Amino acid sequence: MQKLIPAILTGDVKELEDKLSVLRGQSQWVHVDIMDGKFVPNVSFPISALSKFSGEFRFEAHLLVEDPEKYVQDCKNAKIPRIIFHWESTKDPKSVLGEAKRCFLEAVMGINPPTSPQVFSSLHGDLDGAFVLSVHPGLQGRDFIPSSLEKIRELKELHPLLPIGVDGGVNKETIRSCFEAGADYVIVGSVLWKSSDPVATLRELEAMVQ
């Protein structure tokens, strides 16, 4: 599994394309935030905008939306292999998992900072991964919440075979502690795009966790 996945959070298709051009040939996977203005205040580009890049990247669609099961078919149409949905965004997580299975997509469930890792217990056999949001969702550039590390440790202890992703505030100061706590991969966003050389920063972060 790729240990670091670059993230793109934008509502602008031109910015999406510009950032993908930077990452072309530099990363197999790209994490994209899909936002509906309800579950989080921002609104993103349409999922269909990713279709023309499916031959160049493997996209992980982070569905920061209400009723995520309604977005799964669009992800399949855009040839997105993996979705992340949130425990807090659906009344029936199993319906999301069922829809993902029908569309042959990997399904990962995420939790917001206030949510306990215990919510994975009844679903972990149906999931392809767990995802810990280490900031409050919706904006890039927020500070890493230190208590997220204990949440990662607890998840790894409860479900040692379930791959764990971490997203939010991951930078040169926090990245090692995420892996030491048990993360299998991390999402890096603002630390890249605030850098004068995003690719060099990505390579530097990768070297820190080899």
Instruction: Calculate the average pLDDT of the chain.
Output: 95
> Angle at CA 93, nearest 5°, toward 87 and 98?
145
- Chain mean position to CA 196: 23
Among 4-18, 52-66, 137-151, 190-204, which stretch is predicted with the lowest mean pLDDT?
137-151
Mean of the pLDDT values across residues 178-191? Answer: 97
Judge contact between 143 and 174, C-beta under 8 A. no
Residues serving a catalytic function are 33, 167
Task: Output b/e per residue, 152-169; b: 16+ Cβ within 10 A.
Answer: bbbbbeebeebbbbbbbb
Task: Tell me which residue of 40, 44, 182, 102 sits closest to 31, measured CA to CA.
Answer: 44
Residue 114 CB-density burial (10 A; 0-12 exposed, 13-18 middle, 19+ buried):
exposed
Strand-pair partners of 167:
133, 187
Q: What pTM value is reported for the model?
A: 0.95
Identify the band that residue 210 occupies on the pLDDT scale cut at 50, 70 and 90: confident
Q: What's the domain range around 175?
A: 4-208
Strand-pair partners of 26:
none
* Alpha-carbon gap, residue 148 to 126, rounded angstroms: 23
* The pLDDT of residue 132: 98
CATH number assigned to the domain comprising residue 186:
3.20.20.70
Judge contact between 102 and 126, C-beta under 8 A. no
Secondary structure (3-state) at 144: coil
How many separate domains does the chain show? 1
139, pLDDT greater than 90: no
* Alpha-carbon gap, residue 44 to 12, rounded angstroms: 7
